[in-house]
Amino acid sequence: MNEFSRIPRFAFSPTLLFACSSLWLFASCSDIKPPAAAFAPDAVSAAPDYSQSDNWSCLPNKQDFADLSPESVLPQDQEDAPADVFFVHPTTFMESDQWNANLADTALNLATDARAIKHQASIFNRAGRVFAPRYRQMVYGGFKTEDLESKKKALELAYEDVKAAFEYYLEHWNNGRPIIIAGHSQGAFHARNLLKEYFDGKPLQEQLVAAYIPGWPVPTDFFAQIPACNSPEQTGCVASWCTFKDGYEPPSLDLYYQNAIVTNPLNWRSDGTPATKEEHKGFLMENYKKIYTQSVNARQHQGILWLTSPFPVVSLKNYHVADFNLFWVDVRDNAQLRVNTYVEHGGSSQK
């Protein structure tokens, strides 16, 4: 089976909005169609120059949405952080007949920054210096197409940008520092490929603190040498999860999610150990102010993460839009813990 035929067609969202706003979002996304014409290389905008700061959503040396933090949590500390975070944002390019985004689209850039960077990349601003490239992401409708060849080419073009940005980061900014790789949804797809190509069994694996790549199924055998995280302090590992309402099995469960890594962000285990709401450190609301603690139970189920609803009145069953927000404080604290563990042990992998 072509790997691009196994890409989920229904689970990708442009924002991290949750609760009632997500109900509207899912309804609107269901109406979006794939591009009418096949992918054409001459219709794609020019590749970004990553020496230009405008081609980065966030960098440690400029003010951006990754510098933010809710009032109730400790503020960012990127200047003194001993590690770096390379973050790949999810799909924010929505309805269009173009297969890939144009980075000159200022409205799209603002939407990316005010949503994905603010709500996701900012999670990591105490664990490390945050780098997040703009890239010619594939349009949301591309995930709904039957034209697998065009989908393949559009995703490959997007990944080429991510690779170019990562290589520029390595050459100009890394200087041997520990690295966290993070991303969500389409960003997680590119991040897992980045891990496979640059870290898995390669010298750079020694610099890997951890990877946080929820919102895209990662098969348990995808990496040859990078293990799934199975404890809060483990370093050199990958954490991934796809979140659904407890008791709900998506129609595509067998096709997309079987044998996927499922990390429980409440206890950071991937061996099926369930967690109760007493272990939940907190999810962040869309207003970027309110954090709810001890609100959800979480358990593994056949390649997905089952979560009790934090809002019983909301009928959502697919929590993809909030894969990070539901565990915002949990991920934030854990990233800092893993960095501290990595530094304390001189970079050696901790199980």
Q: How many Å apart are CA 310 and CA 245, to the nearest integer?
A: 10
Report DSSP state, residue 61: T
Place of tokens 């980075």: 103
Q: What is the pLDDT along the chain (351 residues), one digit of tens a residue?
A: 345 445 554 333 333 333 323 332 333 456 789 999 999 999 999 999 999 999 999 999 999 999 999 988 988 989 999 999 999 999 999 988 899 999 999 999 999 999 999 999 999 999 999 999 999 999 999 999 999 999 999 999 999 999 999 999 999 999 999 999 999 999 999 999 999 999 999 999 999 999 999 999 999 999 999 999 999 999 999 999 999 999 999 998 999 999 999 999 999 999 999 999 999 999 998 889 999 999 999 999 999 999 998 776 567 899 999 999 999 999 999 999 999 999 999 875 666
Whole-model pTM?
0.92
CA nearest to 155, candidates 170, 169, 135: 135
Residue 82, pLDDT score? 95
Residue 238, pLDDT score? 98
Q: How many Å apart are CA 289 and CA 70, to the nearest integer?
A: 5
Q: How many Å apart are CA 158 and CA 134, to the nearest integer?
A: 10
User: What is the DSSP track for 74-122?
Assistant: PPP-GGG-SEEEEEE------S-S-SB--TT-HHHHHHHIIIIIHHTGG
Residue 96, pLDDT score? 87
Residue 21, pLDDT score? 32
Residue 350, pLDDT score? 62
